[in-house]
Chain A
Amino acid sequence: MLFRLLLRTVQKRKKRVALTGLSVLMGAALLAALLTVTSGVSERVSRELREYGANLTIVPDRAGGAGYIEERDLLKLKRIFWRHNVVGFAPFLSMQAKVGNERVTLVGTWFSRQARLPEGKVVTVGVYDLFPWWKVQGRKITSDADRLSVLVGKELASKLQVSPGSSLRVAYGGMTRTLGVAGILSAGGPEDQRIIADIGVVQEMTGLAGKAEGGKVSAMVVPKSKLPESIRGKEPSRMTPKEYETWYCTPTIEAISTQIKEVVPGAGVKVVRQVAEAEGKLLDKIELLISMIIAVTLVSSTVGVMASMSAAAIERRREIALSKAIGASDGQVALQFFVEAGIIGFIAGLAGFALGIILAEFVGRSVFNVAVPTNPLIFIVTLALSLGMALSGSVLPVRNAARVDPAIALRGE
């Protein structure tokens, strides 16, 4: 009997059921889309924040007194636990040389180097990842075989009157090298006054084979607020092993600098506070903003869907009265409503989740240019919530239905 009634509801009232379902579906889609977009938003914003450049610098450990680090140690950065968070790094070695009568600063670095990940994959690293705002007019140096080409800062270039394609005679301590100008660099910073060369050239001229003065690292980090409350303010040395593990396995800037220190012997790691400090605060803000919006939206859309479910049920007073007049108990009426609402909630939840994923994908692609990963948890939450919305929307009308006097309701208005 129940099923015949349900079947009949759907057949006879196709439009009505569709419209009720639609509101639940939209609620579910909104839920799934917003949750999916938020679930990875801080990681993606953190990647965007790398536009600010290096947030860590590697310096020679002062106690060691060597004054230099080994250039090749830097490649080990791709072997640390959080290697995938390290988006760029390069060593630096500079020297004061002469071009003609002009004193110039030559900075040696990596334009492009191959680094091997522990899993065997080879990735390219270099200075451009650290300075995404660099603009090169002419040719960008992208091959590590191209050791005798340099980029000249735009202010120095106009002083030296060089342009892409011309060559420079660089003199240092009785040695001269002829270097080709590949491009003119506009960096909007001190680099505009410098020559950027391959580190090998500087090492060779200064006789510091394999050495670097230091390095810069750009790493994706999470704010400290991501750590559990209990270990947030603690010194790593005073943590219990379990706490230390949690700390070590959360990509905060401190944890990443500790891991870098572990692989680069004789080096200290400094946090560039200008970037790191502001970044953490900004990430917290953006995340809070998004979650507030989500919370407000979800609460009101849930209430909206419930209202719409109630409205649909209220319209059926006559029907309820008729069922009661021919002998249906209050329980039977309630059961019918709830089963109906459950089915609508389930189907609309499924469809809504699918729609939500499409919406989230669209948002992810247009804002961050990456696909948004789907989280199975969100599926469960969406389905549960749309069932919940549908069922709780029916509570009020069912309670009313129990009070309906068939005679009055059937009389009509």
Chain B
Amino acid sequence: MNNRQMFLTIVHKALLGKKMRFAIAVSSIVLVAGLISALLSVSLGIKARFGSEFRRFGANVVLYPKGGERVMNESLTRKLSSGELGRYLYGYVPFLNEQGVVNGKTMPVIGTDFRLARRVNPWWKVSGSYPDEGAGEVLLGIDVAERLGVRVGDRVRLNPNTGSVPASSVECKGCHSVLPENHNRRLEGRLAEVKSNCMSCHQAHSLGGGSSVEMRVSGILSTGGDEDGHILTDLSRAQSLFNKPGAVSQVHASVLTGGELSLEDISRVIESKLGDVQATPVSRIARAEDNLLGKVQLLLTLVTLIVLSTTGLTLASMMTASVMERGREIGLMKAIGATHRAIAILFLAEAASMGLTGGGIGLLLGFLMSQLIGESVFATAIPTPPVVFPLTILSVITLAVLSSVPSIKRAMSIDPATSLRGE
């Protein structure tokens, strides 16, 4: 039997000959490795996971037209969801903000895309239903509904002309007759009562940009914010009502943060890509999010550190103790002529192989634990970042090896005769 065979036999015997001890040592390594990898995965993946949770607070970037313009082109928004920007975009919603007269009361009239709005503003609560696209329906803010005494299913009369007189005369779109300026002036202030028919053809749909339309109230919107005092309709409907085809006055964008780009960076990217817009981060949302995300991550990191140091110490104490118990064995080896170096290599190899086995199984356990946490908290799996694998294995092997060193040293310094004599 040569030295190498002898070495392998001793390691083999030490590991499998004492199954019980081996099983216990490896299982503690498994637990530690499992915890390390699970906690690392969770704390590394938390920003991405929580990023979309924070989007419940709504848009964090608002896009305005550049240089004091009142509106910008709707087609610009299409560029938002394309290319690299699309990866950061959680959702966006365009708004056209105008003033109109609804059943005789002047109020903000907002055109928007309700499908997009629901994603960006998930807190909107509608009793009834959202307007169907192109059905000529409106959503009334709850305060408006109360003020007008209107319920779901009722019809309201919406006049996009708030009574301010156009500078020049207007043209009837039905019969194309040019109407005198005072036609409109007569309507001023009494828009609700006056049928704004064209004077020459008597059609209701006619005047310039200012004929009133009847719309059905499909739902009542309550948000607890400004929207409670607004009336909302389909974007394209609002654009044709106010005679502003393809125009939007602002776009709310909900951008995922937590990646390598900050919100300011993303705003710059939006500006350079879209051209004629000014992208402003909503500091309220951005600041609170940064703050909270930072706190949650710090908390997780500290918890991870505490768990690692305590479980690491537990593991180390166990490894130390198990080598300590083997003073007799070391004595025997020395007595039959093993060198210090051979003994050290033997024990360290033993520790390393336990670390490797335990670490491998532990990774599997950690994967399961992080899946469990991900599924129960975020309803999606938390991906294990590749860096977790080497980090976990290396740290348990280091732990196992380092914690054996002091007791090996001590055992070797003992005279074989003493240690073999026993207690």
Enumerate chain A interface residues (CB-CB to B < 8 A). Answer: 12, 15-16, 19-20, 22-23, 26-27, 29-30, 33-34, 37, 41, 45, 48-49, 51-53, 57, 62, 131-133, 135, 186-189, 270-278, 281-282, 285-286, 288-290, 292-293, 296-297, 300-301, 303-305, 307-308, 310-312, 314-315, 359, 362-363, 366-368
Q: Looking at the assembled complex, report how far the CB atom of A174 sits from the nearest CB atom of chain B, in whole angstroms.
A: 24
Residues on the A chain within 8 Å of B284, using CB: 52-53, 131, 133, 187-189
- The interface residues of chain A lying within 8 Å CB-to-CB of B311 are 26, 30, 300-301, 304
Q: How far is the CB of A31 from chain B (nearest CB, A)?
A: 9
Known contacts being A273-B123, A274-B225, A296-B373, is A304 close to B314, with CB within 8 Å? Answer: yes
Q: Is the CB of A304 within 8 A of B38?
A: no
Known: A45-B295, A285-B377, A367-B299. A275 touches B57 (CB 8 A): yes
10 interchain residue pairs of minimum CB distance: A188-B283, A51-B288, A278-B56, A23-B314, A277-B123, A273-B123, A26-B310, A19-B317, A272-B224, A315-B325
Instruction: List the A side residues contacting B299 at CB < 8 Å.
Output: 37, 41, 290, 363, 367
The minimal Cβ–Cβ distance linking A295 to chain B, given in whole angstroms, is 9
Specify which chain B residues have a CB less than 8 angstroms from the CB of A293 in the assembled complex.
Answer: 39, 42, 300, 303, 373
* Residues from chain A with Cβ under 8 Å of B324 in the complex: 15-16, 19
* Minimum distance in angstroms from B376 CB to a CB of chain A: 6
Q: What are the residues of chain B within 8 A of A41 when measuring CB–CB?
A: 299
Query: In the assembly, what is the distance between CA of A367 and CA of B296, in Å?
Result: 8
B280 in the interface (beta carbon within 8 A): yes
Within 8 A of A (CB), among B316-342: 317-318, 320-322, 324-325
- Asked whether A308 lies within 8 Å of B317 as measured between CB atoms, the reply is yes
Besides A270-B224, A359-B306, 14 other CB < 8 A contacts? Answer: A133-B288, A189-B283, A274-B223, A275-B57, A278-B58, A282-B54, A293-B39, A297-B307, A304-B31, A308-B314, A310-B24, A312-B321, A363-B299, A363-B302
**Chain B contact residues, majority secondary structure:** helix
Known: A189-B284, A363-B303. Contact between A22 and B314, CB under 8 A?
yes
Q: How long is the Cα–Cα vector from A30 to B311 in the complex, in angstroms? A: 9
B78 proximity list for chain A (CB < 8 A): none
Q: Which among A48, A57, A286 is the interface contact of B291 at CB below 8 angstroms?
A: A48
Contact in complex: A273, B222 (CB < 8 Å)? yes
Q: Could you name 11 residue pairs across A and B whose Cβ atoms are closer than 8 Å?
A: A30-B306, A57-B224, A188-B286, A274-B224, A290-B299, A301-B307, A308-B28, A311-B21, A311-B318, A314-B21, A315-B21
Decide: A48 near B292, CB < 8 A? Known: A23-B318, A273-B222: yes
B269 at the interface (CB under 8 A from A): no
Question: Would you call A297 and B35 a contact (CB within 8 A)?
Answer: yes
**Residue with the highest number of chain B CB atoms closer than 10 Å, among A12, A15, A62:** A15
Q: Which residues of B contact A49 (CB under 8 A)?
A: 288, 292
Q: Is B69 interfacial (CB-CB < 8 Å)?
A: no
What is the CB-to-nearest-CB distance from B177 to chain A, in angstroms, rounded to a whole number? 37
Q: In the docked arrangement, what's the CA distance between A383 and B122, Å?
A: 46
Cα A366 to Cα B35 in complex, Å, equals: 23
Question: Would A314 and B20 count as touching, CB distance under 8 A?
Answer: yes
Bound-complex Cα distance A286 to B300 (A): 11
Please tell me if B372 contacts chain A, counting CB pairs below 8 Å. yes
Query: Would A30 and B318 count as touching, CB distance under 8 A?
Result: no
Is B53 close to A, CB under 8 A? yes
CB distance from B308 to the nearest CB of A (A): 10
Q: How many residues of B contact A (CB 8 A)?
A: 72
Chain A CB within 8 A of B282 CB: yes
B88: interface (CB < 8 Å)? no
The answer to the question of B154 belonging to the interface, with a C-beta cut-off of 8 Å to chain A, is no
CB < 8 Å: which of B223, B298, B423 contacts A367? B298
In the complex, the answer to whether A368 meets B314 with C-beta atoms within 8 Å is: no
Given contacts A301-B31, A301-B35, contact A51 B287 (CB under 8 A): yes
Decide: A308 near B224, CB < 8 A? Known: A278-B57, A314-B21.
no
B304 to A, closest residue via Cβ: A293
B56: chain A residues at CB < 8 Å are: 277-278, 281-282
Contact with A along B152-166 (1 / 0, CB 8 A): 000000000000000
Q: Is B96 an interface residue (CB 8 A)?
A: no
Once the chains are docked, how many angstroms separate the CA of A15 from the CA of B324?
9
A282 touches B295 (CB 8 A): no
Tell me, yes or no, whether B47 is within 8 Å of chain A by CB. no
- The listed residue (B143, B225, B285, B302) touching A273 by CB distance below 8 A is B225
List residues of chain B with CB within 8 A of the CB of A305.
314
B186 to chain A, nearest CB (A): 27
CB < 8 Å neighbour of A189 from B50, B228, B282, B291: B282
Residue of B nearest to A56 (CB): B224
A residues near B314, Cβ cutoff 8 Å: 22-23, 26-27, 301, 304-305, 308
Query: By the criterion CB–CB under 8 Å, are B38 and A366 in contact?
Result: no
Answer whether A285 and B38 are a contact pair too, CB < 8 Å, given A271-B224, A314-B20, A363-B303: no
Query: How distant is the Cα of A329 from the Cα of B287 in the complex, in angstroms?
Result: 69
Most buried by A among B25, B310, B369: B310
* CB–CB A288/B53 < 8 A: no
In the assembled complex, the CB of A254 is this many whole angstroms from the nearest CB of chain B, namely 13
Q: Which residue of B lies closest to A277 (CB)?
A: B123
Residue from B28, B228, B372 whose CB has the most chain A CB atoms within 10 Å: B28
B90 at the interface (CB under 8 A from A): no
For the complex, what is the distance from the CA of A366 to the CA of B318, rounded to whole Å?
31
Least Cβ–Cβ distance between A351 and chain B, in angstroms: 13
Q: Indicate if the CB atoms of A315 and B322 lie closer than 8 Å.
A: yes
Contacts of A19 in B (CB 8 A): 317-318, 320-321, 324
In the assembled complex, the Cα of A264 lies from the Cα of B282 at a distance in Å of 32
A20 → chain B closest CB, angstroms: 7
